[in-house]
Structure formats: C-alpha cells, structure tokens
Amino acid sequence: MNAQKILTDVLRYTGFLAIVIALVGGGLGFLFASTNGLISALIGTGLAAVFASITALSIIGAMRYDIAAFFGIVMGSWLLKIIIFIVILALLREADFVQPLVLFFTVIAGAVGTMLIDVIVVYRSRLGYASDAVLPPAQDETAP
C-alpha cells in the first residue's frame, strides 16, 4: 500500500465520520438547543471534516515535489488552516444562531475522531519506512 492510497482511505473514513457526527451531534444539538443546536452541530462537523481533509489533500498534492517543497506545502496548509479556523470562530462567536457548547463538542468529536482515523489507517496499512525506495542491485559477495 502506498502513501496516496493511505491518504485516500483517510479521506473516505473522514467523510463517514462526518456523516456520523452530523447525525448524532445534529440530533443531540436539536434535542438540547433546538434549531440553533442543529445548525451549530452541522457547522462544527463541517469545520472538522474540511480542516482534516485539507491536511490529507495537501500531502497528496505535495508528494509530487521535492522534500523541501513538500514540507513547505504541508506546513503552509497547516498554518493557513489555523488562521482560517481562528477567523471563522471569531466571526461565529457573535452569531445569534450558534450554540457554543454544541459547536465545541462537535469540533472536538471531529478532531479526536479524525486523529483516531489517521492512527488506525496508518497502523493497518503496513507501509514500510521506505515504501517507494529503489535499492541498488545486490553485489556478488565472492568478488574481491
């Protein structure tokens, strides 16, 4: 299994997780805080899913470049994610339709869930440390 397949699996399972969190969080949010709770749960789920997907997509896109560009792309996307996340939360803080506790719990559920997905998918992948390395041909040990 190569790294792109692993990240594709991460994206697929993150989508499934987002559906589960939207259903469970949205249902609980609606139960405890009516429509505002449902909206907050859906916003929290969307934030968690989009930001988790950005990481996997940036790695998939950066794999075609050299190592310096790879780390620049991945770290740049991570920094951009943090800035955008803070801006979105600052804008939502004053919104009347947001129930902060529901939003908080769905974002946390998404963050913890996506971390677990990453661990499980990578653990099951059995990807070696040098997965795409090409070794030189073996030399004859009897030669001087």
Q: Is the pLDDT of residue 1 over 60?
A: no
pLDDT in tens, 34-85: 999 999 999 999 999 998 899 889 999 998 888 899 999 999 999 999 999 8
pLDDT in tens, 72-95: 999 999 999 999 989 998 998 888
d(CA 113, CA 103): 15
Which tokens hold the place of 11? 């994206």
Instruction: Please give the model's pTM, rounded to 2 decimal places.
Output: 0.78
d(CA 46, CA 90): 16
* The pLDDT value given to residue 104: 93
Largest Cα separation within the chain, whole Å, is 81
Q: How far apart are the first and last CA of the chain?
A: 39
